[in-house]
Amino acid sequence: MINWDELLCAFRGYNRAMTDSQKNAPPSKVRFVDIDDDREGQRIDNFLASQLKGVPKSLIYRILRKGEVRVNKGRVKPEYKLRSGDVVRVPPVRLPEAKEAAKPSQQLADLIEASILYEDKKLIIVNKPSGLAVHGGSGINLGLIETMRQIRPQEKSLELVHRLDRDTSGCIMIAKRRSMLRYLHEQLREGRIQKIYHALVFGRWPNRKKEVNAPLKKNELQSGERMVRVDPEGKASRTLFRVLNRYSDCTLMEAKPVTGRTHQIRVHAQHAGHGLVGDPKYGNDDFNRQMKGKGFNRLFLHAAALELIHPDTSEQLRVEAPLDDRLERALKQLGREQ
């Protein structure tokens, strides 16, 4: 059984921002890279960004424009898509000296390893704990993907397929091959991957309310905080809802997002008059304080399952993530409606 409290304690202990300034390293040498099937279809500018870590995009576009980058000895534009068998000339550029990567403790590495729900030669699915960012940035050096890359050093192409908010727990996919990443992105765009969430909401959700279809628009406050609201000028957004269990003051819901907008489930639940328990942005503050006293001390939104067609078998793969111990214990203490 995973101890999420120990996991987050270990994570926070090793997630310190690094303050050392970067220094310029000597220019690299000309390299010629052979493109294999796994890189086919990738844009040349994105390929160069992966080869020239830390180089700003403006410099990448400059060396493309000047013809310093060649594919099969010819110039290409940034939107050129690589083909298997291409040979790419990567010119010498001055790379910033890489910072020493923050390393997870053995405890954190072991716990993340234990949170892996599914793994094959192309795909990993992890039960991400609440409080762990999916990637570093904005003062966070150690997220899920950085930890996975360190505990799987033999895997050179680990990439997040999608994202979960830091406070959301549950299933998240990590591709081990670029071909798998492309396949899953295509499946996501076409709506062929089913994401199933569990959410505890304020009040009594009516059985007849089976979906929320409301456009969402992102806004950034002066503080820099990102907020989302229902707005006629926003992007079309739709979420399917189903009652799972009823409690005295709240309802456990299944939520299936048809579209994939930022904070979609949280804002659609709020729009329906039933904000999520523990949601500091879109929830009911008074009710959240009440529920915190009952053990609900974080956002109750959990990516409970994923369903997809695996490209190697053409069969449906369903992976389920158990709810963490803290929320399970808190749920059991609530009075169920008879």
Domain of residue 133, CATH code: 3.30.2350.10
Q: Are residues 200 and 297 in the same domain?
A: yes
Count of other CB atoms within 10 angstroms of residue 285: 10
Q: What is the CATH number of the domain that holds 43?
A: 3.10.290.10
Residue 26 lies in a domain: no
Q: Are residues 166 and 83 in the same domain?
A: no
Residue 275 lies in a domain: yes
**What gap in Å lies between CA 13 and CA 146, rounded to an integer?**
15
Residues with active-site annotation: 165
**What gap in Å lies between CA 37 and CA 82, rounded to an integer?**
10
* Pick from 220, 200, 213: nearest CA to 331: 200
Residue 295 lies in a domain: yes
Domain-ending residue, one of 186, 219, 242:
186
Q: Are residues 159 and 109 in the same domain?
A: yes
**What gap in Å lies between CA 28 and CA 209, rounded to an integer?**
60
Q: Are residues 161 and 199 in the same domain?
A: no
- Cα distances from 52 to residues 22, 67, 95, 146, in angstroms, run 15, 16, 7, 18
Reported pTM: 0.78
Domain-ending residue, one of 141, 164, 186:
186
Residue 25 lies in a domain: no
Domain-ending residue, one of 157, 186, 215:
186
The torsion defined by the Cα of 34, 37, 42 and 46, in degrees rounded to 10, comes to -50
Residue 74 lies in a domain: yes
Q: Are residues 163 and 148 in the same domain?
A: yes
The torsion defined by the Cα of 300, 302, 304 and 305, in degrees rounded to 10, comes to 150
Number of domains in the chain: 3
- Cα distances from 264 to residues 35, 219, 255, 268, in angstroms, run 38, 14, 10, 6
**What gap in Å lies between CA 268 and CA 7, rounded to an integer?**
31
Q: Are residues 221 and 181 in the same domain?
A: no
Q: Are residues 45 and 133 in the same domain?
A: no
Range of the domain at 295: 193-333
What does the pLDDT read at residue 3?
A: 55
Q: Are residues 219 and 260 in the same domain?
A: yes
What does the pLDDT read at residue 100?
A: 64
Residue 267 lies in a domain: yes
Q: Are residues 317 and 285 in the same domain?
A: yes
Q: 102 and 142 in contact (C-beta within 8 Å)?
A: yes
Mean pLDDT, 10 residues at a time, the chain of 338 residues: 53 43 55 88 89 85 94 94 93 72 78 94 95 76 87 91 94 95 93 97 96 92 79 96 94 96 96 96 94 94 97 95 93 79
Q: Are residues 139 and 250 in the same domain?
A: no
What does the pLDDT read at residue 8?
A: 55
Kindly state the tokens that stand for 298. 């974080």
Q: 204 and 246 in contact (C-beta within 8 Å)?
A: yes
What does the pLDDT read at residue 19?
A: 35
Q: Are residues 171 and 240 in the same domain?
A: no
The torsion defined by the Cα of 262, 264, 266 and 272, in degrees rounded to 10, comes to 150
Q: Are residues 206 and 292 in the same domain?
A: yes
What does the pLDDT read at residue 38?
A: 80
Q: Which helix (H) or strand (E) element contains residue 227?
A: strand 226-230
Residue 27 lies in a domain: no
- Looking at residue 71, the DSSP 8-state letter turns out to be E
Q: What is the DSSP string of 261-302?
A: -TTHHHHHHHHTT-PBTT-TTTS-HHHHHHHHTTT--S--EE
Residue 260 lies in a domain: yes
Q: 105 and 11 in contact (C-beta within 8 Å)?
A: no
Start-end of H helices in the chain: 4-14, 44-51, 57-65, 106-114, 144-151, 178-189, 264-271, 285-292, 325-333
What does the pLDDT read at residue 4?
A: 54
**What gap in Å lies between CA 73 and CA 331, rounded to an integer?**
63
Question: How far apart are the two ends of the chain, measured CA to CA in Å?
Answer: 31
